[in-house]
Amino acid sequence: PLELGIDARTSGTTATVVLVLPGQRLLAAHVGDSRAVLGVRPRNTSTGVCAPTPWRLRPLTRDHRPDMPDERARIEAAGSQVVQVGQPPNATTRVFCAAQTWPAINMSRSLGDLHAHTQGLTSTPEVSPLMGPLWDAAAEEAVLVMGSDGLWDVMEMEDVFDMVGTTIAQGLDPAASLAREAYTSWMRRGLQGSYSDDITVVVKFL
């Protein structure tokens, strides 16, 4: 609301929800480019502690980006364009139309961002029921990591889960450690004004 200093025409957010259901099942629903990933690896059956084996990773969501074929089709049907801005590794695809007076957005779905919703964006969530069991609770450990693109744009999924395993073994907070590492990675890019994207991280051991 404007009385709170927030203009929903040019402000918005992503939303990612994962329900943990009985029988090692999950249901994910999301809007935008905040990603949820499930990591599973064997336990050390002799001690009940996780063995240092590689994680088996499964993305539970897909990033809603304008250059995805189905998302692009909806945007172009609304009369807008999908354009690339910047140079790798900082290049992004954004939604644009002629005479646009608001910032070009780099997502294809969001909550808020009402100007962009006239350009083909939608707030309709993508719902993904994942029938289980997705892991063996007796023999495997499962970890859910949910993060904004400020995490996933600068860290590979494998590196994220390796840090989760390392930090938890050291008695540290894995979510805080990931946020600090992501911020450090943004600073290494040397972008104008020491720019960093928003960084939100949730780590949940299942």
Q: How far is CA 201 from CA 16, 17, 162, 173, in A?
A: 12, 13, 15, 11
Report whether 206 contacts 20 (CB < 8 A): yes
14-25 tens-digit pLDDT? 999 999 999 999
The whole-number pLDDT of residue 143 equals 96
- % of residues, the chain, pLDDT over 70: 94
47-77 tens-digit pLDDT? 555 456 889 999 999 999 999 999 999 999 9
**What pLDDT band is residue 121 in, cutting at 50, 70 and 90?**
very high
Instruction: Give, rounded to a whole angstrom, the gap between the first and last alpha carbons of the chain.
Output: 37
The whole-number pLDDT of residue 192 equals 81
Beta strands in the chain (DSSP E): 12-13, 15-21, 25-31, 35-44, 49-50, 56-59, 81-85, 92-96, 111-112, 126-130, 140-147, 201-205
Q: Is 0.85 surpassed by the pTM of this model?
A: yes
Query: Residue 1 pLDDT more than 50?
Result: no
The whole-number pLDDT of residue 124 equals 95
Q: Reading across the β-sheet that carries 25-31, which strands appear in turn?
A: 15-21, 25-31, 126-130
Q: What is the mean pLDDT of residues 140-158?
A: 95
| Mean pLDDT for the chain overall | 90
155-206 tens-digit pLDDT? 999 999 999 999 998 999 999 999 999 999 989 888 888 888 899 999 999 9
- With tokens 């801005």, the residue in question is 85
81-92 tens-digit pLDDT? 999 988 877 788
The whole-number pLDDT of residue 156 equals 95
CA-wise closest residue to 148 among 33, 30, 64: 33
**What is the distance between the alpha carbons of residues 81 and 165, in angstroms, rounded to a whole number?**
42
The whole-number pLDDT of residue 196 equals 84
The whole-number pLDDT of residue 4 equals 66
Contacts with 69 (C-beta within 8 Å, 6 or more apart), sequence order:
none
Under DSSP, the state recorded for 50 is E
Residue 88 C-beta-side C-alpha neighbours within 13 Å: 0
Q: How many helices (H) and strands (E) would you count in the chain?
A: 5, 12
Report whether 129 contacts 34 (CB < 8 A): no
**What pLDDT band is residue 46 in, cutting at 50, 70 and 90?**
low
Tell me the DSSP string of 168-181: HHTT--HHHHHHHH
Query: Residue 41 pLDDT more than 90?
Result: yes
